[in-house]
Structure 1
Amino acid sequence: MEDSGLKKTPAIAARETGPGPGCYTLPPTVGFVNHDYTRFTSPAYSFHQRLKNRLDLKDSSPGPCYFVHPELTRFGRAKGPSYSMLARARPPGLPQTPGPGAYSPERAPPPSQQRPPSFSIGARTKSRLVDPVPAPNSYTLPSLLGPRVPSKPSSPSFTIRGWNAKGSYAEDLSQTPGPGRYNTTDPSVYLCRPPSFSMLGRLKKPTQVSHTPGPGAHSPEKVKVHRARAPSYSLGVRHSEFLMPLITDVPEW
């Protein structure tokens, strides 16, 4: 018998139910397919079968004497950046660029500030003596007023003529009364009657017979008919809300 409090039992590997070391696999380091990305890949070559020797065909494939550089792979060239050091080329001549003193940065406004547009006044260019092209004011456009513009839609137009007393609608041959001769009926006769108001003269100011006090003469806070005395208030010190209240009536158990 074993005592768990005094002695520990060693672990037995047969009781473990997990997979053994042989169940785990690592990616291969040979070839390019599923190659371990933590390892460098060496150049790989493939061997092809020998071609048939014919009299009319020549073997154009390179032999073993050709050296293939390790940076050439079947996926392309695998090479880092390379640089070469050459001698400094001779300048073609003295540079004609202006020096630092030729610039005036103080005259340029800051790029973050806005400035008004600036213009320069130059000399008038010489006009051409012979110019067959007509000036802009030589062209005229047809008027758009009236209905006689063939290429534009026109609005309805009207003409104003003089007044003719005879033969016009203004000549009343039958001597009929005009619209102003007829009386209109009050709408209150055949419709609901609207409210009506009348304006009278201003009433006379009432004479002061009774000396009644106004609202400002009353002091409701001083009334003590229904209480012992009028309420009074005093401004004291603000007490802390965490103080224990004074308990005078202590129950006797």
Structure 2
Amino acid sequence: MVEAQKGPWVGPWRPHRPRGPIMAQFTSPGPKYSLPGTTGCQDHCITKAKAPAYTMRGAKAPAPQSCSPGPAYYIPASITRNGKYVAPAQHICGRPKEKTEVTPGPGDYSTEESCKHLYKRAPAQSMSFRHKAKTQQGPGPAAYTLPRQLGPHTACSPASPCYSLRGKSERGSFAEDLSKTPGPAAFPKVQLDTYKTRAPAYTMGTKTAPGGQGRSPGPADYSLGKVTLIKSQAPAPTFGIRHSPYTLPLLL
């Protein structure tokens, strides 16, 4: 097999021409992020003015020589503008089934009662059984009481004014027991804050625990020569690795 490209070997592989564009070879974002065009109606740049677009149709097809549907659409002679013409014919079908029902006969009717609706007749009273009387026991004379004639609450006679006599109250009498009244010790002591200006009050609490429980750094843990926040610092260049030529630059 003959090699198509020849060149020096770089380690275990030989460099060759790439089949397509490599994004790392472009310093710009690449062809993927190209600006939209300003022509046409599709994918037009939104920052540019867009002129009115018109649609152009193609040429019309040539007109056929014959406009009839052809022999495949032959219309029979029985088809008219009102539909298909069919000669009058009688349909032959089976005999319908008859439903046999039991109807009343002449003996089921009573014609004697019909005469009173056709001819005049004297009024006739109908006689029925005697109704059952409802036996309900009513109150007797002894169930009623006459209103009283004496006293303030009389219904049919005037009454004189009456007064009610009430017993003598024990309060203020000679029989009042004064030992049951509350003494000075029965009333609670009123605080001074109720009727005077309240004095400031203070609360005594327990001693709080120290905040830091871990080990704190001492003076020897600080390096005063490396302080760069409040003092100027000399330039200190750093040495890094060599970057690839295909790496995009950092844009700030």
Report the TM-score, using the length of structure 2 for normalisation: 0.19
Report the TM-score, using the length of structure 1 for normalisation: 0.19
Bigger CA radius of gyration: 2
Higher relative contact order (Cα pairs below 8 Å, separated by 6+ residues): 2
